[in-house]
Chain A
């Protein structure tokens, strides 16, 4: 576990995460009545491996491979002025594009909703999906915009003084969800 965590609390282990992803996959299929025209777009960094896992789960259930892409939203954010310019991550849409597709955006944590707002703006530049939905592993509340997820792996009631870290084995060596304390800037 990262040393920077302060009073860490593990709220989900690797089995919990696998079960949540499996359930998300089933819900997506049930809700969309199949996987036709489905495209999964992960938001870097942790949304991308999550999207691949959902795609794998859906392939196991339906027997068809689901295209997966990566959508970096950095240049579309509304809070760019608040921090130093971030390194850009990979944007790679599936070769068949997103026009007329059912796009499910995948991210690890839904918090303020600003990342998703930026993602919707980014999508606009690349094409016109028929439907856009959102799947997240964790919904921790505290929305700042009228945005909600269609599929939620785990609802985690948190205070804004806390931080939620999703670790995914492809990037972090293991799967777990950790809540740790963050010192408030203006207590």
Chain B
């Protein structure tokens, strides 16, 4: 494995190997090894063409915990705002000797292009490309699910998510998080139900490996986990639902809906949240919510990905 562009590139075993590596890294951190020398002398570049707080910070921290040198390149205030192309930026990073490039781009396929055009030798990690994929988010979500739904680390190691029911609610159309999650959850053996208004479902979703519903209430009692997607107002240049209030009333996760979930069910949200829109503050801060755990797990899972991609000899 040299790049991580799409969940499609991973086999079930590859995915479990990443989760297991994260499990080992978590154990090391818990026991006091906060800084590991593994990537000393390697350079990881965060190449962000799109705004991001948690993904960028998470990758930065993950790389630093593995002792890599980290450079963050934001499109704003850089040569990109002077019109530099992706190709020229890639050639620049190649000359600087980058070993891994974490890229977020508003165009779907940008990470794929970097990985397969020969502009740069570095391992490419997709940190979100347009409405296509965000594989590390899906991996950290599956890692969080596996951790929350198994008894202990011993039971989690080597396991998939077989037989688990996961609901993904909201703006599936614009969500790369949903796309990556549906693929990964399916690969790991979970049953996925996507829920949202028909206007926010992509064309052809009937061919995806998931069940589609247009109401949330009927699905609640059978879910082991529910993932609330952010309503992406910045991507909504058309009219997808009548009003935020109506969306919230039809699909928002509030206390009454949360109380109809099974006792053990957990609530996930990839962040950043619109409190009061897709999820109420009360549910987001409740005991069911694993949202802050997702953030912590994000660092660990990204460490696992960095280690597996650039920690060894990449000629595999």
Contact = CB atoms under 8 A, between A and B. Distances in A.
Given A75-B28, A87-B17, 5 more contacts: A86-B312, A88-B20, A88-B25, A91-B31, A126-B33
Contacts of A84: 312-316
Contact of A80 (B35, B311, B316): B311
Nearest to B308: A85
Interface residues of A, number: 22
Contacts of B108: none
Nearest to B24: A88
Contacts of B316: 84
A87 B28 CA distance: 14
Contacts of B34: 125
A75 B31 CA distance: 15
A89 B309 CA distance: 18
Interface of B: 17, 20-21, 24-25, 27-28, 31-38, 66, 307-309, 311-316
A91 B28 contact: yes
Contact of A87 (B21, B35, B37, B66): B21
Contact of A83 (B25, B35, B307, B312): B312
B313 A82 contact: yes
Interface of A: 72, 75-76, 80-93, 121-122, 125-127
B312 A75 contact: no
B27 A75 contact: no
| Chain A at the B interface: SS class | loop
A148 to B, nearest CB: 24
B27 A85 contact: no
Contact of B32 (A83, A121, A126): A126
A185 B20 CA distance: 33
A85 B312 contact: yes
Residue from A81, A89, A121 having most chain B Cβ neighbours under 10 A: A81
23 contacts: A75-B28, A76-B36, A82-B313, A83-B312, A84-B316, A85-B307, A85-B308, A85-B311, A85-B312, A86-B312, A87-B17, A88-B20, A90-B24, A91-B24, A91-B27, A91-B28, A91-B31, A91-B33, A92-B27, A93-B31, A125-B35, A126-B32, A126-B33
Contact of B33 (A85, A86, A92, A125): A125
A76 B37 contact: yes
Contacts of A76: 36-38
